[in-house]
């Protein structure tokens, strides 16, 4: 039996392991943590073809500089003399052009639609019973300028074949009658779905354990043995593993891991925070993005999750809970009836989004080390693109024709 070592047990690693296992590979997932310290459980759970605009956009740099002076703002870059950060920043600024946004829209739509189809299949499989709803998502705005921008974006979405419609405040009230919103209107992306990411991750882990895969936790990959241009063994702090195939799915730690394979993978960690509140007094029917606050709100049956902020900061920097005050303030401002207290520190989750230098994931087989497949750098879209990425990894492993053109996602595009 062919053996695959998947490094990283977040949504990308677990989805890759799932599809590889189904394709007949003997899979071992190695994770240096206990599978709960990654970015894949406390996120907002959006499965969102609506997000066809990459993180690197023309306005982001000037807006980011303004936000950096406010400790509650949704975006922050911790200034530091770090060559990888400077290198990433230069590449990010180079990518933040209108041409890049336009060129990325179709590839992002295609991989998101493919991934959503994978989730729709996955939820019907025996053993999978994660919460999943295809009720669309509202991108709500307060200012006239953002309303204008939202209407333009809804039009581009429709041109891309996505089901999206601008609703004024009364239109939003018609579909969310039980929740008062202090907004000008919202784009209703009917094309979007959302799920409970903890349940999804648990279901994937249970499937893998039941079907003969090994989940090796608290084990850190430290290096590789190579022979004739191929990886033969994966070295860890607990011993070595033989491998016919290696999948690199190490999220925000991928730059360092790629360097061990002589691959330059510009990537920084973008920390975000979230917390859960009781949904019984707040009967929101579908996810809402609070545009001006950059906050994502997700109803999951009895609970509702509020998440946001993008802090480009070294991993393991102590959390800055002031930023969570910004999330709470925005939520109160958008939902005047909502009774929401600042959560206690122990109830706040945070995770590190793996942010590539151009806002597009890195997915592909390495030309110089062909038995390595890279699947990382999904930034704000790792959950949305998770199942699809996993299936693409299995298609690459099986040397099949891939379901989505991976050209723009090449992991070797930065050299």
**Which residues, 281 to 310, sit near ligand FAD by CB under 6 A?**
296, 307
Q: How many residues line the site for ligand FAD (CB under 6 A)?
A: 41
Q: How far is the CB of 34 from ligand FAD (least distance, A)?
A: 9
Q: How far is the CB of 101 from ligand FAD (least distance, A)?
A: 19
The region of 123-131, 154-162, 247-255, 334-342 touching ligand FAD under the rule CB under 6 A is 247-255
Select the residue interacting with ligand FAD from 4, 5, 44, 215 (CB under 6 A): 44
Residue 33 is a binding residue for ligand FAD (CB under 6 A): yes
The region of 40-48, 94-102, 225-233, 338-346 touching ligand FAD under the rule CB under 6 A is 40-48
- For ligand FAD, give the closer residue by CB, 38 or 153: 38
Select the residue interacting with ligand FAD from 220, 292, 395, 412 (CB under 6 A): 220
Residue 13 is a binding residue for ligand FAD (CB under 6 A): yes
Angle 71-77-83 (CA atoms, 0-180°, nearest 5)? 155
Residue 10 is a binding residue for ligand FAD (CB under 6 A): yes
Adjacent-strand bridge partners of 5: 28, 246
Adjacent-strand bridge partners of 308: 273, 295
Q: How far is the CB of 380 from ligand FAD (least distance, A)?
A: 5
State the helix-helix crossing angle for 197-210 and 11-22, rounded to 10 degrees. Answer: 40
Residue 54 is a binding residue for ligand FAD (CB under 6 A): no
C-alpha span between 74 and 104 (Å, rounded): 24
Residue 324 is a binding residue for ligand FAD (CB under 6 A): no
- For ligand FAD, give the closer residue by CB, 47 or 366: 47
**Which residues, 374 to 403, sit near ligand FAD by CB under 6 A?**
376, 378, 380-384
Q: How far is the CB of 297 from ligand FAD (least distance, A)?
A: 10
CB atoms within 10 A of CB 163: 14
Q: Which tokens sit at 398?
A: 């099986």
- For ligand FAD, give the closer residue by CB, 180 or 256: 256
Residue 274 is a binding residue for ligand FAD (CB under 6 A): yes
How many C-alpha atoms does 44 have within 13 Å on its Cβ side? 26
The region of 9-17, 174-182, 331-339, 401-409 touching ligand FAD under the rule CB under 6 A is 9-17
**Which residues, 352 to 371, sit near ligand FAD by CB under 6 A?**
353-354
Select the residue interacting with ligand FAD from 16, 21, 38, 146 (CB under 6 A): 38
- For ligand FAD, give the closer residue by CB, 147 or 308: 308
Interface residues with ligand FAD (CB under 6 A) are 7-13, 30-33, 37-40, 43-46, 220-221, 249-253, 257, 272, 274, 296, 307, 351, 353-354, 376, 378, 380-384
């Amino acid at each position: 039996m062919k053996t695959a070592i998947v490094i990283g047990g977040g949504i990308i690693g677990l989805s890759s392991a799932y599809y590889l296992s189904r394709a007949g590979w003997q899979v071992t997932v190695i994770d240096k943590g206990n599978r709960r310290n990654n970015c894949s459980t406390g996120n907002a759970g959006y499965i969102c073809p609506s997000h066809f605009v990459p993180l690197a956009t023309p306005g982001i740099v000037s807006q980011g500089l303004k936000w950096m002076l406010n400790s509650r703002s949704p975006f922050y870059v911790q200034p530091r003399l770090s060559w990888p950060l400077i290198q990433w920043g230069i590449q990010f600024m180079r990518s933040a052009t209108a041409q890049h946004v336009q060129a990325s829209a179709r590839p992002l739509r295609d991989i998101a639609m493919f991934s959503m189809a994978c989730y729709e299949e996955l939820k019907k499989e025996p053993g999978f019973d994660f919460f999943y709803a295809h009720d669309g998502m509202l991108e709500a705005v307060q200012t006239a300028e953002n309303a204008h921008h939202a209407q333009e974006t809804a039009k581009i979405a429709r041109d891309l074949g996505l089901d999206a419609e601008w609703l004024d405040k009364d239109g939003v009230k018609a579909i969310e009658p039980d929740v008062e919103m202090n907004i000008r209107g919202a784009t209703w992306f009917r094309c979007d779905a959302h799920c409970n990411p903890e349940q999804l991750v648990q279901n994937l882990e249970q499937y893998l354990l039941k079907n003969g895969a090994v989940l090796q936790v608290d084990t850190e990959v430290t290096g590789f043995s190579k022979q004739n241009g191929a990886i033969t063994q994966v070295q860890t702090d607990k011993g070595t593993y033989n491998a016919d195939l290696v999948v690199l799915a190490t999220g925000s730690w991928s730059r360092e891991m790629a360097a061990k394979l002589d691959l330059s993978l510009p990537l920084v960690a973008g920390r975000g925070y979230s917390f859960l509140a009781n949904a019984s007094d707040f009967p929101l029917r579908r996810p809402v993005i609070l545009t001006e606050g950059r906050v994502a709100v997700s109803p999951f049956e009895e609970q509702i999750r509020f998440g946001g902020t993008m802090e480009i900061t070294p991993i393991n920097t102590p959390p800055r809970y002031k930023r969570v005050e910004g999330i709470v303030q925005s939520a109160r401002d958008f939902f005047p009836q909502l009774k929401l207290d600042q959560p206690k520190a122990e109830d706040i989750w945070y995770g590190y989004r793996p942010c590539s230098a151009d806002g597009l994931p890195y997915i592909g087989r390495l030309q110089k080390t062909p038995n390595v497949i890279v699947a990382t750098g999904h930034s704000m879209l790792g959950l949305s693109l998770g199942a699809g990425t996993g299936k693409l990894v299995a298609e690459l492993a099986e040397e099949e024709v891939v379901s989505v053109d991976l050209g723009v996602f090449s992991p070797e595009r930065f050299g």
